[in-house]
A and B are shown apart, each in its own frame.
Chain A
Amino acid sequence: EVQLVQSGAEVKKPGESLKISCKGSGYSFTSYWIGWVRQMPGKGLEWMGIIYPGDSDTRYSPSFQGQVTISADKSISTAYLQWSSLKASDTAMYYCVRRKAEGVFSGGYYYYMDVWGKGTTVTVSS
């Protein structure tokens, strides 16, 4: 079974650092992009960034560039999302996702998030 298993809920204080994880199983981890999606309490979905574990190529949304770091360790099929200094506004649910690609006849690929982790709740409060 293809699945993404995320690390557990975190409660942190402003200014602290944090690294949450997402472990893939049931498929070739290095062959698919892994992304991170934020959902603030009661709000919609926000695309944060993606990483290709095969070569660690990483892309960020401008909204999150410089605010978080996405990384991966392909030897243990795990992707990470980390903060160096948390803010209260980082309080949210964070989902990791597998991004699948399907070829388009005319060239290029359709991308879609076909597998989602259950999410990691991050609470930042003094």
Chain B
Amino acid sequence: DIQMTQSPSSLSASVGDRVTITCRASQSISSYLNWYQQKPGKAPKLLIYAASSLQSGVPSRFSGSGSGTDFTLTISSLQPEDFATYYCQQSYSTPGTFGPGTKVDIK
């Protein structure tokens, strides 16, 4: 299985901050990388697919970049509704493993 890691595991930020989350794959996965947001008690929601494609309806303050083994999710200006846990997931091979998550909370 391809192993996914994320850093940091958690971060505290203020409304308006620029936030960057990193995801790393144990082998090259080209651009087969997705990002999901999960709020407490809710199902995850797709934000970004294919490393940098914004899912329909997702605010443009979210962006993704990277290829190969290193990827980033950036929130350009953190909003109150963005406090959540973020997961990366590789879709290069089965099983489509997830990263351990990054929790973003209020400073």
Chain A contacts to B: CB under 8 angstroms: 35, 37, 44-50, 59-63, 95, 102, 110-114, 116-119
Contacts and interface: CB of A to CB of B under 8 A. Distances in A.
Contact of A111 (B1, B96, B101): B96
A61 B1 CA distance: 9
Interface of A is mostly: strand
B59 to A, nearest CB: 17
Interface residues on chain B, size class: 20 to 34
7 contacts: A45-B87, A45-B98, A46-B98, A102-B50, A113-B44, A116-B43, A118-B43
A114 B95 contact: no
B50 A47 contact: no
The majority secondary structure among interface residues of chain B is: loop
A113 B36 contact: yes
Interface string B34-68: 10101000011110011001010000000000000
Interface of B: 1, 31-32, 34, 36, 38, 43-46, 49-50, 53, 55, 87, 89, 91, 94-101
Q: Output the residue of A50, A62, A110, A118 with the most chain B CB within 10 A.
A: A110
Contacts of A47: 89, 95-98
Query: Which of A45, A102, A116 gathers most chain B CB within 10 Å?
Result: A45
Contacts of A63: 95
Contacts of A102: 49-50
Contacts of B34: 112-113
A16 to B, nearest CB: 26
A68 to B, nearest CB: 13
A62 B44 contact: no
